[in-house]
Structure 1
């Protein structure tokens, strides 16, 4: 299970690097750095799943969970939304040192 968390963490980190790379390339083209919000990235990738999530949260859970809860996360820069859980997963799921080994040989 630990290996799955570690791989997922690194995939999220690589996705964050790709997103910030695309944002930097867009900034070089336009002359101003505007990081893409997570909601915009999700909308560009798959609008149907974003709409489905909104409908499920508002109908079956509670409308206030969607706005301001999830909406505030979707307004954050996409690279942050990808990098933070990626780094946490990579750190929490890293292999631990075997404590039974002596420090000095």
Structure 2
């Protein structure tokens, strides 16, 4: 049951990454330059309060400087790449056992 759930969520994340890639492609064609939407911009537009809560959580529970060294580069990464990698990882974790 857990494996199915991991694969299911992984497929949805992979699909979301594909949608983000298509949207970035359309924006790139329309502007005649490469456009990649960062994860942080999308998260900020979706839920500003949860981003602030995540920063507080990371800053209070993890060693000093973790937000700047780990989370800031992750938030600057393209949304399609983050969703794609996370989706692939969940699919690989949830794959059936080999016999």
Q: Which residue of 1 aligns with 2:83?
A: 82
Deviation larger for 2-11 or 40-49: 40-49
Larger Rg: 1
- Establish whether residue 13 from structure 1 lines up as the match of residue 14 from structure 2: yes
Question: Is residue 16–residue 83 contact of structure 1 (8 Å, CA) maintained in 2?
Answer: yes
Q: Which residue of 2 aligns with 1:61?
A: 62
Higher relative contact order (CA 8 A, sep 6+): 2
Q: Which residue of 1 aligns with 2:38?
A: 37
Deviations 1:36-64 (CA, angstroms, capped at 9, x unpaired): 11111111111111011112222343341
| Deviation, structure 1 residue 95 | 2.7
TM-score normalised by length of structure 1: 0.84
| Deviation, structure 1 residue 22 | 0.9
Partner of 2:65, secondary structure, is helix
Deviation larger for 60-69 or 6-15: 60-69
d(CA) in 1 for partners of 2:96 and 2:60? Answer: 41
d(CA) in 1 for partners of 2:96 and 2:61? Answer: 39
Unaligned runs of 5+ in 1: 100-105
d(CA) in 2 for partners of 1:72 and 1:48? Answer: 20
Deviations 1:65-100 (CA, angstroms, capped at 9, x unpaired): 111111111111111111001012112212345x3x
Length, aligned pairs only = 98
Unaligned runs of 5+ in 2: none
